[in-house]
Amino acid sequence: MMRLIWIRHGETKGNQMKRYIGHLDEPLAETGKEQAFRLAEALSREKIDFVVTSDLKRAVQTARPFLQKHPGIPVAVMPALRECSFGIWEGKTYQEAEKLAKEAWWNWIRDPVRFAPPKGESLMDLHHRMQCFLRELEQNRPGDTVAVFTHGGPIRWFVAYHVYQCRDDFWKPSIGHGEGWVAEKKEAEWIISRSLFQKGDF
């Protein structure tokens, strides 16, 4: 049985200020570094066969404490695991983004499947790159437990599309920074079996 441990990167200063970060390459804030060490302890209780991480700094830094404790575990850095691009809203607070393009912002909030941030990625763009990532992982690592260090968007996509089996539920999953969910594939279906810290709403 394949297991994926989906981990959202630790907190950045932009996250603390409620800014859209997207493809901007922010490092972890001090709280994010503390979250990364806490994750390393929790993950050390799991049998991890392989680690994959987004290439963005905040995800790589979140993975680092665990990898330093377990240097023998193979790791791959994959741009496919990046957060969605938020286009003209990147670096803006939620309120600033709404003022910048109010109609586009509300359309996207109400229906992220059919609308995208101006000059940003659509949910279908995210879908295509994440499906390619998942197919490759299932082909190359069947039966393994894989720690996936990524971002809120890819995790929401996985839960909405593969667990709820409803893309329209993209906003429903809520996972905090520095938290992780364990997903298991049973026969042809994915389920979320538990949280690393028993937090989050899946």
DSSP string, 74-131: -EEE-GGGPPPP-GGGTT-BHHHHHHHSHHHHHHHHH-TTT---TTS--HHHHHHHHH
CA proximity to 72, closest of 44, 39, 106, 37: 44
Per-residue tokens: 30: 């001090």
Q: Which of 9, 151, 162, 177 is catalytic?
A: 9
Q: Active-site residue 127, yes or no?
A: no
Q: Which of 11, 23, 34, 83 is catalytic?
A: 83
First to last CA, the chain: 21
Q: Active-site residue 70, yes or no?
A: no
* Residues classed as catalytic: 9, 83
